[in-house]
Structure 1
Amino acid sequence: MSNKMRAVVYDGPFKVSIGEVERPKILHPNDVLVKITTSCICGSDLHMYEGRTAAEKGIVFGHENMGIVEECGEGVSLLKKGDRVVMPFNVACGHCQNCEEQRSAFCTNVNPGFAGGAYGYVAMGPYPGGQAEYVRVPFADFNALKLPKGKQNEEDFALLADIFPTGWHGVELSGFKPGESIAVFGAGPVGLMAAYSAKLRGASEVYVVDRVPERLQKAESIGCVPVDLSKGNPAEQIKALRGGKEVDRGVDAVGYQAVTADGKTEQPNAVLEGLIAVVRPTGGLGIPGLYVPKDPGAPDSNSAKGYITFPFGKLFEKGLTVGTGQCNVKKYNRYLRDMIISGTAKPSFVVSHNVTLNEAVDAYDKFDKRVDGYTKVLLHP
């Protein structure tokens, strides 16, 4: 077998290419090598793609990966060649304090000096991504979730790597209880998964804020109330729809690249302000949307250093709780897998395009520009 493979390689802001890179090898007895069948382009990849991180040229993208086990290290006991698996985007050891407490996104062993590791992402450790033909999975017995054999539910299972658990996590962080109302800011893949998760968990009403018509239509198609950001202050729109009442919970599925109503001006604190305004006193906020310690393309000097201003006084006055941080995928993925198998959940409604790995350059461009209906793209080597 060749020691080279094709992969999506970062070449600089707004530039990726299909390059020939070293094929991964087993480096530790606990590793497996997975032949990729599906990898996804994530909104988080766009932060690197747009030059809004410290990502350097040559990084192989791809933290949402699934495929077939090709080779196992001698220490692997739960997996075997031919197993169909999906990998949480979190690379985690499984035995540090955080991993043992189901906080695998904050593993302290896999990426010293940073809270957690991931495949193919800047500052998240030495783990090349899976937008490629193969990926190496460390601590594989912990990091790979077995799936039913065959090709059934491929699109659904691929979303277990990140966005389905992350959407669920955003709702969990908010302190949501069945029967409550919730507002989700952002109708990208994670926002739609948060809204879908809230519906699955028994929300009475789900409001979804965005300004892209196709995204709002997707939200409406699953029984949510779409709120068009371009038509004015979303918090006021939601309260008007509710006769002046606020909602019980809120989810930020946007993060640090939030924009004003016209969609032309970045305002990193826009969603945080909106959530504080629209959630009732003693309600809760879940913030799975990405915020970074440094932002090279920030609109001001404070946010460039990761400092975001927001009305803390109002947050305090209302007694709001706040939950934030990356998703601990391992905490949720086997349960969500079983919901897919049973037919209870079908998260693949967010998938807009299935393309080959060779079409990734064009897919990145269109996904970044939000054109031609590109909302969630799956890559197949």
Structure 2
Amino acid sequence: MKAVVYDGPRNVNVKDVPDARIERPTDALVKITTTNICGSDLHMYEGRTDFEPGRIFGHENLGEVVAVGDAVDKVRVGDMVVLPFNISCGFCENCERGLTAFCLTTNPDPRMAGAAYGFADMGPYNGGQAELLRVPYADFNCLVLPEDARDKERQRDYVMLADIFPTGWHATRLACLNPGETVVIYGSGPVGLMACHSAMIQGASKVWQVDCHPDRLALAERAGAIPINFEQTNPIDKIMEDTGGKGADRGCECVGYQATDAQGSEHPNITLNNLVNSVKFAGTIGVVGVYVRQDPKHPDPLYKHHDGEVAFDFGEFWIRGQTMGTGQCNVKNYNRQLLALIVAGKARPSFVVSHELSLEQAPTGYEHFDKREQGWTKVVMHPDGGR
């Protein structure tokens, strides 16, 4: 099969690799029809993680089931399915509690909980930026889609259920957003835009979106947010002005450890500290941006040499009596309900899509998306050539 293979920092290539196959009776084999490039893929693409050369990228995957193992009971050959980026068993202590991002059985590393397709430190599983994908524990992990999922136009919405739509929703839930409340979202990439979309669906009275990319801020404004370009305006001052000095009720961090200041220099702590100062006393912050234990290539000496430690202003956080929720999204907690919103026409997460490419165009897609070039907001690929 053809697959997008990581060959080193900023070097991906489409290669012929051994076909994915059924390995255990609980597996399904899925022919991938739509797969996305995710912002978190870029951390690996840039060489900022320990993702090993030779592995296959891709954790936002949708396709048709073409084979099932003998122990698969519910999922059928011919079903169109979307796969949570979490690979989870469904029966361990954490999965039973709905914490499928922290499955205790699918990652062989005893120091880790949770697994994912084609992701650093998240187990040995290949990604789905390929023609075929092996899906472990298929009955638990496959979300069977309506018949209209065979239509590529519909797949643009449904594929977002693999990660970014649930993750954006998760940011708002970690922040404990209630109808009528205000929320500030730092980051206007695909996940930040999904957090905005989610907040609007949930009845937020006002949403501010903080970023520096005009094309992404324009999408946020279209989704109902008040855009703040931090290269032109101090976001804390703007939010305080708009709230009479109170601050936003809730905050969402959708940037992660490669956050930058107005001059473009990286500071892994900047959005966290800005959120503390943007959110009201006793407010709540949800953090879904990726943070890693150590980034040896980070320009910040603290983050580079001290196991991912961040200069977080805990004193201000404590004085303000705020609460923070963090961590990867437990996709299965949300994807069925979010599917219902898409089917009912209440959600259209595909508004973030800017480019649809063939699998062979993956190197070009990664290059443009990584540079945050104007207009490259979300890249969708079709391993079947869009057929």
Give the TM-score taking structure 1 as reference length.
Answer: 0.97
Q: What is the CA deviation profile of residues 96-143 of structure 1, one whole-angstrom value per residue up to 9, with x for unaligned ones?
A: 011011110000100032120000011111110000000000000000
SS class of match (2:36): strand
1:94 to 79, 90, 94: 90
Aligned mates of 1:115, 1:302 — CA distance in 2: 25
Aligned mates of 2:133, 2:360 — CA distance in 1: 17
Q: Find out whether 1:219 has 2:217 as its counterpart.
A: no
2:18 to 19, 22, 39: 22
Matched residue, 2:317: 315
Aligned mates of 2:285, 2:113 — CA distance in 1: 22
Aligned mates of 2:72, 2:270 — CA distance in 1: 47
More divergent stretch after superposition (359-368 vs 237-246)? 237-246
1:223 CA displacement? 1.2
1:63 CA displacement? 0.4
Question: What is the identity, as a one-letter code, of the residue corresponding to 1:369?
Answer: K
Aligned mates of 2:126, 2:87 — CA distance in 1: 11
More divergent stretch after superposition (210-219 vs 371-380)? 371-380
SS class of match (1:38): strand
SS class of match (1:40): strand
Distance change (3 Å), C-alpha of 1:311 and 1:372: closer
Aligned mates of 2:267, 2:301 — CA distance in 1: 13
Q: Find out whether 1:116 has 2:131 as its counterpart.
A: no
Matched residue, 2:191: 190
Residue ranges of structure 1 left out of the alignment (5+ in a row): none
Matched residue, 1:348: 350
SS class of match (1:271): helix
Q: Find out whether 1:298 has 2:298 as its counterpart.
A: yes
1:298 CA displacement? 1.0
SS class of match (1:294): coil
SS class of match (1:250): strand
SS class of match (1:91): coil
Aligned mates of 1:355, 1:33 — CA distance in 2: 23
Aligned mates of 2:140, 2:303 — CA distance in 1: 36
Aligned mates of 1:240, 1:319 — CA distance in 2: 21
Aligned mates of 2:121, 2:278 — CA distance in 1: 34
Percent of residue pairs bearing the same amino acid type: 52
1:252 CA displacement? 0.3
More divergent stretch after superposition (116-125 vs 229-238)? 229-238
Aligned mates of 1:204, 1:372 — CA distance in 2: 30
SS class of match (2:17): strand
Q: What is the CA deviation profile of residues 327-371 of structure 1, one whole-angstrom value per residue up to 9, with x for unaligned ones?
A: 000000000001101111111000111110001100000000111
Aligned mates of 1:106, 1:81 — CA distance in 2: 29
1:377 to 368, 376, 379: 379
Q: Find out whether 1:40 has 2:64 as its counterpart.
A: no
SS class of match (2:350): helix
User: Superposed, which structure 2 residues align to 1:128-139 within 5 Å?
Assistant: 128-139=126-137
Q: Find out whether 1:253 has 2:254 as its counterpart.
A: yes
Asked if 1 retains the 8 angstrom alpha-carbon contact of 2:106 and 2:123, the reply is yes
Matched residue, 1:31: 27
Aligned mates of 2:33, 2:55 — CA distance in 1: 20
Q: What is the CA deviation profile of residues 140-177 of structure 1, one whole-angstrom value per residue up to 9, with x for unaligned ones?
A: 00001000123162100000000000000000001111
Q: Find out whether 1:67 has 2:69 as its counterpart.
A: no
Q: Find out whether 1:339 has 2:335 as its counterpart.
A: no
Question: What is the identity, as a one-letter code, of the residue corresponding to 2:67?
Answer: E
Asked if 2 retains the 8 angstrom alpha-carbon contact of 1:90 and 1:105, the reply is yes
Residue ranges of structure 2 left out of the alignment (5+ in a row): none
* Over 6 Å off, 4+ runs: none
RMSD value, Cα: 0.9
Q: What is the CA deviation profile of residues 224-281 of structure 1, one whole-angstrom value per residue up to 9, with x for unaligned ones?
A: 100011014211122123333310000000010000012x200110000100001001
Aligned mates of 1:348, 1:234 — CA distance in 2: 27
Question: What is the identity, as a one-letter code, of the residue corresponding to 2:78?
Answer: G
Matched residue, 2:240: 239
User: Superposed, which structure 2 residues align to 1:243-282 within 5 Å?
Assistant: 243-262=244-263, 264-282=264-282
Asked if 2 retains the 8 angstrom alpha-carbon contact of 1:174 and 1:251, the reply is yes
Asked if 1 retains the 8 angstrom alpha-carbon contact of 2:58 and 2:128, the reply is yes
1:372 CA displacement? 4.2
Asked if 2 retains the 8 angstrom alpha-carbon contact of 1:233 and 1:261, the reply is no
Matched residue, 1:154: 155
Aligned mates of 1:237, 1:52 — CA distance in 2: 33
More divergent stretch after superposition (119-128 vs 240-249)? 240-249
Matched residue, 2:46: 50
Question: What is the identity, as a one-letter code, of the residue corresponding to 2:260?
Answer: V
1:300 CA displacement? 2.5
Q: Find out whether 1:163 has 2:174 as its counterpart.
A: no
